Amino acid sequence: MIDLSVHLAGLKLANPTMTCSGTCGYAFEYGDFMDLSQLGAFVTKSVTREERPGNPPARIVETRGGMLNAIGLANVGLKRFLDEKVPQLEKMPCPIVVNVAGHSYDDYVETVAAMNPIACVGSVELNVSCPNVKDGLTFGTNPGRLKELVHEVKKVLPAKPLMVKLSPNVDDVAVTARAAIEGGADVLTLVNTFTAMSIDIHRRRPRLANVTGGLSGPAIKPIAIHMVSRVYRQVAKAAGVPIVGMGGVQTWQDAAEFILAGASAVAIGTALFVDPAAPNKICEGLGEWVSKQGAEKLSDLVGTVQMPGD
Amino acid sequence: MNQRRGQFTGVVCANIPLCREHFKLVMEVRGFPPTKAGQFVQLLCRSTRDLDYVERELEWPSPQRPEVENVDLIAPTALLRRPFSLAGATTDGETATIEVIHRVVGVGTDWLVQLRTGDEVGILGPLGNTFSHPVENQIAILVGGGVGIPPMLYLASELVGKKVIAFCGATTRDLLSLTVTADARTPGIDSIEPLYNIQEFAAHGIPAVISTDDGSYGFRGFVTQSLQEYLDRFRIRGEMAVIYTCGPEVMMKRVADLARARQIPCQVAVERAMACGMGTCQSCCIRVKKPDASAVPLPGQDWCYRLACTDGPVFAGEELLW
């Protein structure tokens, strides 16, 4: 029997498949389409302190091999999340990670603090890298502010591991990764979407109402692989901080690539829209791959890509 | 009979051109749950083999195999599924036969056109809400424009024996995805007389008024103009009728306005770009009025977004702010 289990700084996952925040709703939206009990962990849509309506449409556009979105963190806000969504999450058959976003230190601290006592919440993922809200990027791209934010947030989440989701829209993701770890991040998740744009050449206008959006899907996978590999080798491995890899994961082959690059677990986002059962299939394929590699545990293969000079 | 929505594989029974750029795709789907007019499906507009993730040997005749990998990005494919409203559905035991009408507008629908009898199609559904049927003695007025006609066909099939009139419009006769009966009287360019000249509606005993922008068939002008003339001529107001509509947004807005001005209830099936169809991606939002500004969501604001996929696609005309 192949062991696919993953330990993310105290959060135990039966297998390495997770959902990407914002692609899977708050709880049971995919209940009819996938086996939620077979998920390694479920990551909720971002929650902000105040309810947000989100951006005007058009909010998405498909590009070659990718999807560009500018949803604008449309969400029910902290109060309704606690009232309406947590009772649902309590019934979920897998570990839960709540994604939290904000505009200010106070926003983040208040929302994260509210998650600390909730028993069914296994971990909090800090969204410091949404490219579609006006001041949302500054935390994710400024190492000093990021370190301070993570430090403040960590203080109000003593009971659970803290995940920090890194932006790829920086000069060197290893620098922000180091800042997050120095601030107290227990797990790094990368990458969020890439800031991008698409133009309607007939109307000569941007195709998204927000002008720019975040690019996801298979088009970004090679860049995400590079960033996971870089963060693993430069920072995370030495610090003993596990990585959740994401960015264009559609198949078990993609997931295996992230594992080899240094990810302990993988998250599936855009692919869920096409095939909500993708995490279940990925899990199956990974098991066979691990055994073909002659390993007994998936975790033995994390970061084992052989580089020239290794 | 399966009651649960999910992912299914349909087998193509027919993929028939109806008019320029429009095709009717008929699929048999084992275990597909019962559906109603207004609902839609998300079609995978590429091979279902894409979702198998099985490592395959390349099929290559020569003993020396080429060293190629990642061939999938050579040809553009539709990454996301595409939503299509159902144009009709029937069930026979465990097997449902469902119909969609698609117009070729991009890489996804271009792939659908290539489908032949026996080919497989990935289907996710059924999704969305349904139209509410008219009450006793209420006249149902079905208003469809262009690619908005399909859900009106499905609704027509549910309203057999009721008082129903269909108003359908297209830019020109070539783009009218309906079948004119061979021996039908040709309506004049200023005629709003409902005729049994459209096979799809006549089959259910429903008369139709057809408009084309250029007058190449039926009433010359927009479907909203023939509708307005009809409502005025027969003094249709209030609860004596209910209007159902689907089509281009500018048309649906006008239909909703005509209905509101006459206090006629109106049900609008909206169209939106969509990724998931299941309420997770939040991309298919549409602005609606809140009856009570203090209610959730967003207390203190008199409007909010609703999702076309799970809150709709059918909305009451009077609540839509577009």
* Cα–Cα distance list, B269 to A258, A298, B26, B151 (Å): 42, 48, 21, 8
For B46-89, what is each residue's pLDDT tens digit? Answer: 988 888 766 655 555 666 655 555 444 456 789 999 999 999 99
Out of 3.30.1360.30, 3.20.20.70, 3.90.1200.10, 3.40.50.1110, select the CATH number for domain A6-301: 3.20.20.70
- Name chain A contacts of B298, Cβ cutoff 8 Å: 51, 53
Specify whether the CB–CB gap between B252 and B236 falls below 8 A.
no
Q: What is the pLDDT of residue B75?
A: 61
Per-residue model confidence as pLDDT tens digits over A25-81: 999 999 999 999 999 999 999 999 999 999 999 999 999 999 999 999 999 999 999
Q: Do B7 and A272 touch (CB under 8 A)?
A: no
Instruction: Check residue A130 and give its pLDDT.
Output: 64
Mean of pLDDT values over B209-217: 95
pLDDT, position B126: 97
Q: For position B183, what pLDDT does the model report?
A: 81
**pLDDT at B192 (0 to 100):** 93
Contact yes or no for A33 and B278 at CB 8 A: yes
- Over range B119-141, report the average pLDDT: 96
Greater model confidence, B70 or A100: A100
d(CA B100, CA B274): 17
pLDDT (0 to 100) of residue B3: 76
Whole-number pLDDT of residue B65 = 56
As a whole number of angstroms, the distance between CA B191 and CA B210 comes to 9
The per-residue pLDDT for B186 is 84
Q: Which residues contact A7 (CB under 8 A, 6 or more apart)?
A: A13, A242, A264, A299
Radius of gyration for the alpha carbons in chain B, expressed in angstroms and rounded: 21
Strand segments (E) across chain B:
6-19, 22-30, 40-44, 82-92, 95-103, 120-127, 139-145, 164-170, 208-212, 219-220, 241-246, 266-269, 285-289, 303-307, 314-316
Torsion, CA A219, CA A222, CA A224, CA A227, rounded to 10: -150
The sign of the CA dihedral A91, A95, A100, A105 is positive
Size of the A and B interface in Cβ pairs below 8 Å: 110
Asked if A65's CB is within 8 angstroms of B275's CB, the reply is no
- Per-residue pLDDT averaged across A152-170, rounded? 96
Using CB atoms within 10 A of its CB, is residue A107 exposed (0-12), middle (13-18) or buried (19+)? middle
Q: Tell me the C-alpha distance between B208 and B16, whole Å.
A: 23
d(CA A61, CA B207): 39
**What are the residues facing A267 on neighbouring strands?**
A18, A246
Cα-based angle B140, B142, B144 (whole degrees, multiple of 5): 175
CB contact under 8 A, A62 and B286: no
Task: Choose among B136, B156, B135, B152: nearest CA to B144.
Answer: B152
pLDDT of residue B294: 87
pLDDT at position B2 over 80? no
What is the mean pLDDT of the segment spanning A286-297?
A: 95
> What is the mean predicted confidence (pLDDT) over B206-217?
96
Q: What percent of chain A has pLDDT over 70?
A: 97
pLDDT confidence tier of residue B1, bands split at 50, 70 and 90: low
- For the ranges A132-141, A166-175, B310-319, the lowest mean pLDDT is seen at A132-141
Q: Are B184 and B160 in contact (CB under 8 A)?
A: no
Tokens of B301: 């604001």
- Ordered domains of chain B (ranges, CATH): 6-49+69-127 (2.40.30.10), 139-270 (3.40.50.80), 272-322 (no CATH)
Tokens standing for residue A213: 């959006």
pLDDT for position B63: 63
pTM, rounded to two decimals: 0.93
Q: Does A29 sit within 8 Å of B278, measured CB to CB?
A: yes
pLDDT category of residue B123 using cuts at 50, 70 and 90:
very high
CA-based nearest residue to B309, from B284, B291, B286: B284
Q: Which two tokens stand for residue B91?
A: 């069930």
Nearest Cα to Cα of residue B131 among B149, B151, B160: B151
Express each pLDDT in B169-192 by its tens digit: 999 999 999 999 988 888 889 999
Over residues B256-285, the pLDDT tens digits come to: 999 999 999 999 999 999 999 999 999 999
pLDDT, average across residues B197-213: 96
CA distance A163 to A98: 10
Catalytic residue among A20, A24, A94, A130: A130
Question: Is A130 tagged catalytic?
Answer: yes
Whether B194 has a pLDDT exceeding 80, the answer reads yes
The Cα of B125 is separated from the nearest Cα of chain A by a number of Å equal to 9
Q: Does B290 touch chain A (CB under 8 A)?
A: no
Closest CB to A53 among B44, B274, B304: B304
Mean pLDDT, residues B138-164: 96
Q: Is the pLDDT of residue B27 over 60?
A: yes
Average pLDDT, integer, range B134-159: 96
Contacts of residue B247, Cβ cutoff 8 Å, sequence gap at least 6:
B143, B144, B145, B146, B147, B148, B149, B169, B223
